[in-house]
Amino acid sequence: MIYEQQNVKNNHNFGSIIWWTLIRVVFVIIVMWLLLDRFNEYSQWWAITIGAIAAIGIYPAQIQYQKFKEDSKQIIEESLCTSCRWFDPEQLLCKKLDLHVSENIIPCEGEGWEPFTYEDTL
pLDDT in tens, 29-88: 999 999 999 988 888 999 999 999 999 999 999 999 999 888 888 878 877 787 888 888
4 has a pLDDT exceeding 50: no
Farthest-apart Cα atoms in the chain, separation? 65
| DSSP class per residue in 12-62 | --HHHHHHHHHHHHHHHHHHHHHTGGG-S-HHHHHHHHHHHIIIIIIHHHH
* pTM for the whole structure: 0.68
How far is residue 73's CA from residue 106's CA, in Å, rounded to a whole number? 16
Q: What are phi and psi of 35, to 5 degrees?
A: -95, 5
Q: How confident is the model at residue 113 (pLDDT cuts 50, 70, 90)?
A: confident
Asked whether the beta carbons of 49 and 73 are under 8 A apart, the reply is: no
